[in-house]
A = this chain, B = another copy of it.
Amino acid sequence: MKETISVGLLGLGTVGSGVIEILEDHKESIQHKTGCNVNIKTVLVNNLSKPRNLQNNETKLTDQYTDITQDPEIDVVVEVMGGIDHTLKILMEAIENGKHIVTANKDLVAQYGAELLEATQRNKCDLFYEASVAGGIPILRAILDGLSSDRIRKMMGIVNGTTNYILTKMSKEGVDFDTVLKEAQDLGFAEADPTADVDGLDAARKMTILSILGFSMPINLEDVQIKGIRGLSLSDINYAKQLGYSVKLIGVADHSENGASISVEPTLLPLDHPLSSVNDEYNAVYVYGDAVGETMFYGPGAGKFPTATAVVSDLIAVIKSLRLGTSGMAYVQPQFPKKMKTKNDTITKKYLRLHVHDQPGMLMELTKIFAQYDISFDQIIQRKADAEDERELMMITHQVSEADFERAYEELGKLSSIRSVDSVFRVEGSE
């Protein structure tokens, strides 16, 4: 049995250096847990001439990925470089050469998870990606092992730290979206190009991964309804508060006899809902199981050490299964064929904010349209708007199907009394 496991590390950015530091710092405890030493043999970097502070002088830096994928001594490839197509090619080559994979790359796993899994199983290799969802929170293990005896009905999560930081700041300090985004970029909490975070794509990738595992179904990123928070107005946050809600970017995946539905969108959550108090860059995932009921997993969703912890925990799992001779047996293929809910079966409550012309019969016209589709209201607030002859109207509906809501929404657009529909959000919580 091998005494030392050799690792090829792809990427030496923030997370990559974190992985090296944790492996160094926890050497003895990893030796105790696995009976092995871990040696980072080779690290793939972009720029060989950049000065690096590597404690282990035997670690070799390279800018040729084949130095890792084709090195027969390397047992495990740890991928923390990001990217999709090129990275996929490298990992596929590594797998074909019998290497086990640990990755933190949600973009890749959400898009090519099934392909990677197929290749690793064919080659009897392990593939772990705990760090790809919710950073330091061991949520994939909780779903795969801890709740393995249960039937998961619903997962609801704050799985993007950047947008949660932005929404928390807006809500607590009353600062508008653009200002907070700029500040977050200056502080390094948001990327220079914030698209993937702000427009909901990053959260959608994580919800895809959670749904595949939680519902045991081959869900694709394309199955997720996505709406981000770009340009979200302070007014909505303030009105939501008055109505008893917080505004969060929530990923919801639910599953019933009619199929699954998955979405990421700005959502009004009751202020006493536990996800309402998840603030700043923290993540949390609520899991509802038939038998277990309501559970929640909370922790840092990103960051050097939280993410590196998840990567190294995966590495320990790979090493354990190497030593036990059980590599490639950890994951099972999805049990069920994919079945998505139709819009008729997707039922939620909705929040709307409108600007209307203050004219006789306006509210009657409006409510008539909703009544036509059996949509009734839980709360309505009407306010003076900036313009003298306009009113601002906030409405929360009772439960309504996506299909009915879409039809009503389309007819709203035809009403001359409506100047603009400013916001439409999902509403979670009590009926």
**Chain A residues close to B by CB (< 8 Å):** 18, 22, 25-26, 28-30, 32-33, 130, 136-138, 141-142, 145-151, 216, 272, 274, 277, 289-300, 303, 305-306, 308-313, 315-317, 324-326, 329, 332, 335
Contacts and interface: CB of A to CB of B under 8 A. Distances in A.
B145 A317 contact: yes
Residue with the highest number of chain B CB atoms closer than 10 Å, among A33, A299, A311, A324: A299
Contact of A291 (B141, B306, B325, B329): B306
Given A300-B292, A305-B292, A141 B146 contact: yes
A329 to B, nearest CB: 6
Contacts of A272: 277
B293 A305 contact: yes
Contact of A149 (B32, B216, B315, B326): B315
Contacts of A28: 335
Given A18-B291, A136-B293, A293-B305, 15 more contacts: A22-B291, A28-B335, A138-B142, A142-B142, A145-B313, A146-B310, A147-B309, A148-B317, A149-B309, A150-B313, A274-B277, A277-B277, A290-B305, A293-B303, A294-B299
A282 to B, nearest CB: 8
A26 B138 contact: no
A283 to B, nearest CB: 10
A151 B33 CA distance: 13
B291 A146 contact: no
Residue with the highest number of chain B CB atoms closer than 10 Å, among A150, A272, A308: A150
Contacts of A309: 147, 149-150, 289, 291-292
A389 to B, nearest CB: 44
B32 A335 contact: yes
Contacts of A142: 138, 141-142, 146
A178 to B, nearest CB: 29
Contacts of A149: 22, 26, 30, 309, 311-313, 315-316
Given A29-B216, A32-B335, A295 B147 contact: no
A45 to B, nearest CB: 23
A188 to B, nearest CB: 17
A289 B272 CA distance: 28
A146 B305 CA distance: 14
A277 to B, nearest CB: 7
Nearest to A334: B32
Residue with the highest number of chain B CB atoms closer than 10 Å, among A292, A294, A325: A292
